[in-house]
Amino acid sequence: MLDRIRNWGLAVLSVAAVALALSPMARADAPAPGRLSVEAPEANDGAITLRWTGRVASPMAAQIRNAFQSQRTRANRVVLKIHSGGGSVAEGEQVIEVLREIRKTHALETVVEQGQMCGSMCVFIYLQGQRRVAALSSLWLFHEVSHHDPNTYKITRLDRPAFERLVEKYYAGAGVSPDWTERMKPLTVASDYWQTGADLMRDKSGIVHVALGNQRERLIADRSPPKPAPEAGRGEPPAKPAPPPVTAPKAPAEEPKQPPSRYATMFETKACRALVPDQQIYVNAPCS
């Protein structure tokens, strides 16, 4: 009986493992869901900072709208920091509508930081910033709209007309250079066209307004223990008296030099010497 129960349990676990392995959510090539973090104005020079990391997909638009509504009265500027390889066109255009609503009452800045990426639909979202900042070392991807298999997430079709529609709708109004746009288009035909922030600035694309350098300060946390709070009603503890200053010991005073005696020995003193009466000095003399 115990063996039968054990075998049945192992069979159930095996089926569950296979089902999980075949699930689209478990596939290594399936895009990770995006996430939003919010930083209060007090920590960011009076700006509401929204940081989106990951795929452009629902509920990105709703999360950005809700986060803004909860903070809108605390600042007059919004900074959207984004790190994304793209995603849903439909969700991306909803995000754009939310950002355009934000721009009616608040200044909007979009940022792609050092080593971060903005690709595909992310670029059209980034272009909504009235002030657009990107690092020279940021990575950018331009390509046609693609359709994917919902299970394998492999590309099944490229949609050139949809890409042309997005470029026509969002590039010119954002001040992207028409010359750069025409140079970029043929490079995206059935291709991924990669650029860096430095490339976009050098080619005067008009996508980035302000460049961030490649060097960024590394902050070190203060690990010193916190000072104990003073006891209630006693105020701050009295300061310890300062130790007395340390002084170097005085050198012993030199003994005053005696004037030379007129009876001093002229030569090195020997065991045998003789007195010269008229000069009152001793001189070496042979021992008798």
In three state form, how does the secondary structure of 33-63 look? CCEEEEECHHHCCCCEEEEEECCECCCHHHH
pLDDT, residue 128, reads 98
Here the tokens at position 144 are: 């046609």
In a domain, 253, yes or no: no
Indicate the pTM of the whole model. Answer: 0.68
Whole-angstrom Cα distance, residue 230 to residue 99? 49
pLDDT, residue 195, reads 98
In a domain, 12, yes or no: no
44: CB partners within 8 A, 6+ apart: 79
In a domain, 275, yes or no: no
Residue by residue, pLDDT tens for the chain (288 residues) are 445 544 544 443 443 443 333 333 333 455 677 999 999 887 667 899 999 999 999 999 999 999 999 999 999 999 999 999 999 999 999 999 999 999 999 999 999 999 999 999 999 999 999 999 999 999 999 999 999 998 998 999 999 999 999 999 999 999 999 999 999 999 999 999 999 999 999 999 999 999 999 888 888 888 877 777 666 555 556 666 666 666 666 665 555 554 444 433 343 444 466 666 666 665 566 665
In a domain, 92, yes or no: yes
pLDDT, residue 270, reads 43
Domain harbouring 196, CATH code: 3.90.226.10
* Residue 184: Cβ within 10 Å count: 19
pLDDT, residue 276, reads 63
234: CB partners within 8 A, 6+ apart: none
Give alpha helix (H) positions in the chain.
2-22, 60-71, 89-103, 121-126, 160-170, 178-184, 197-202
In a domain, 143, yes or no: yes
CA distances from 19 to 5, 13, 24, 154, 208 (A): 21, 10, 10, 20, 45
Q: What is the extent of the structural domain holding 132?
A: 28-212
pLDDT, residue 161, reads 97
In a domain, 11, yes or no: no
**Quick one: CA torsion of 71, 74, 78, 82, rounded to 10 degrees?**
-40
In a domain, 183, yes or no: yes
pLDDT, residue 221, reads 84
211: CB partners within 8 A, 6+ apart: 133, 134, 135, 136, 197, 198, 201
Whole-angstrom Cα distance, residue 75 to residue 104? 14
In a domain, 184, yes or no: yes
How many separate domains does the chain show? 1
